[in-house]
Amino acid sequence: MIEIRPFASLGAANHGWLDARHHFSFADYHDPGRVHWGALRVWNDDTIAPKSGFPAHPHSDMEIVTYVREGAITHRDSLGNEGRTEAGDVQVMSAGTGIRHSEYNLEDEATRLFQIWIVPDARGGEPGWGARPFPKDDRSGRFVTLASGMEGDDDALPIRANARVLGASLKAGETVTYRTDASRHAYLVPATGRVSIDGVEAQARDGAAITALEGFTVTALEDSEIVMVDAA
């Protein structure tokens, strides 16, 4: 099953400094048909105005992955971590027993990012944060695992969930095939470009909810940057 969720159908909230689109129910947006996709609970498509951002606030028992599409985001948290994550790079925060953090766009341009929340396999655990660059050339024509709690994904940022977050950069006409288990839930979003997933077309920033398949092939109809979650 491949269900396309057009960008225009997503939940929307414009706070001035933050223009957000919600692939799943979040804050004041609630759609009973879009509460989660397996362990994937939140996928927000955020545009953050220059010199603004999210002030310090708490989280617990959630794996929060931030994929920066344009600009940069600066993270600070109650553990003393601080870091700046640039376009194409990824940061992961395991909220565990509890953590407070802020996320600010300190740049002179808008920052655009995907904020992805995945429910952990178990509650509790020591909170933590990490970030790393993932050069786009390294994922040209193939999926690269950016964050994962699955066996064998040793090069990815760790999360505490039976899930992985992947990225791929495809030139127009290139294809990539992903193998999975029919019981799992994949959610794919072209950050840019236009793709076909086993013949089903997705435009930039559409969501593609995929399940009950043992694999699928993504074909770039235009130069495309893809982000995907594979979750139990």
DSSP string, 89-137: -EEEEE-TT-EEEEEEE-SSS-EEEEEEEE--SSS----EEEEE---GG
Among 33-37, 57-61, 108-112, 133-137, the range scoring the smallest mean pLDDT is 133-137
Are 163 and 118 within 8 A, CB to CB?
yes
**Most distant pair of Cα atoms in the chain: their distance:** 47
pTM reported for the whole predicted model: 0.97
Please tell me the predicted confidence (pLDDT) of residue 135. 77
CATH of domain 2-231: 2.60.120.10
Separation between Cα atoms, residue 83 and residue 11, nearest integer Å: 30
Strand 195-197 relative to strand 185-192, pairing: unpaired
Q: For residue 88, what is the DSSP state? A: T
Quickly state the pLDDT bin for 184 (edges 50, 70, 90).
very high
Domain boundaries, the chain: 2-231
Quickly state the pLDDT bin for 139 (edges 50, 70, 90).
confident
